[in-house]
Amino acid sequence: MSIPTYEDIMLPFLKYISDGQEYLFRNIVDFLATEFNLSEEEKKELLPSGQQAVFDNRVGWAKTHLKKSGLLCYPKRGFSKITEKGLGVLNQNLERIDNKYLIQFPEFAEFFKPSNIEKNKTQEASSLINMDKTPEETIEYLITDIEKQLADELLERIKSNSPEFFEKLVVDLLLKMGYGSSRQDILQSTGKSGDEGIDGIIKEDVLGLSKIYIQAKRWQGTIGRPKIQEFVGAIDNKTHKGVFITTSGYSAEAKEYAAGKPSIVLIDGEKLTELMIKYNVGVELKYSHEVKKIDEDFFSDD
At residue 121, the pLDDT reads: 42
pLDDT tens digits, 133-190: 787 887 887 787 678 878 888 988 898 888 888 888 988 898 888 886 666 666 555 5
Most confident range (mean pLDDT) of 113-117, 231-235, 249-253 is 249-253
Strand partners, 46: 53
Task: Assess contact for 197 and 167: CB atoms under 8 A.
Answer: yes
Task: Assess contact for 186 and 171: CB atoms under 8 A.
Answer: yes
pLDDT tens digits, 184-201: 666 555 545 444 445 778
d(CA 267, CA 214): 11
pTM comes to 0.63
pLDDT band at 120 (very low <50, low <70, confident <90, very high): very low
At residue 168, the pLDDT reads: 84
d(CA 153, CA 283): 11
Domain over 153-278 is classified CATH 3.90.1150.10:
no
At residue 13, the pLDDT reads: 97
d(CA 14, CA 25): 12
Task: Assess contact for 55 and 38: CB atoms under 8 A.
Answer: yes
66 pLDDT more than 70: yes
Number of other residues whose CB lies within 10 A of the CB of residue 193 = 11
pLDDT tens digits, 251-265: 999 999 999 988 899
**What single string gives the DSSP state of each residue in 117-169?**
S-TT-HHHHHHHHT--S-HHHHHHHHHHHHHHHHHHHHHHHHHHS-HHHHHHH
Q: What radius of gyration, in Å, describes the C-alpha atoms of the chain?
A: 27
Sequence-ordered alpha helix ranges (H) in 17-98: 25-35, 40-44, 54-68, 84-90
Q: Give 18 or 220, the one with higher predicted confidence.
A: 18
Task: Assess contact for 187 and 200: CB atoms under 8 A.
Answer: yes
Name 136's Cβ contacts closer than 8 Å, sequence gap at least 6: 47, 52, 57, 61, 291
Q: Give 56 or 109, the one with higher predicted confidence.
A: 56
**What single string gives the DSSP state of each residue in 12-36?**
HHHHHTTTS--EEHHHHHHHHHHHT
d(CA 155, CA 131): 33
Domain residue limits, the chain: 6-133, 153-278
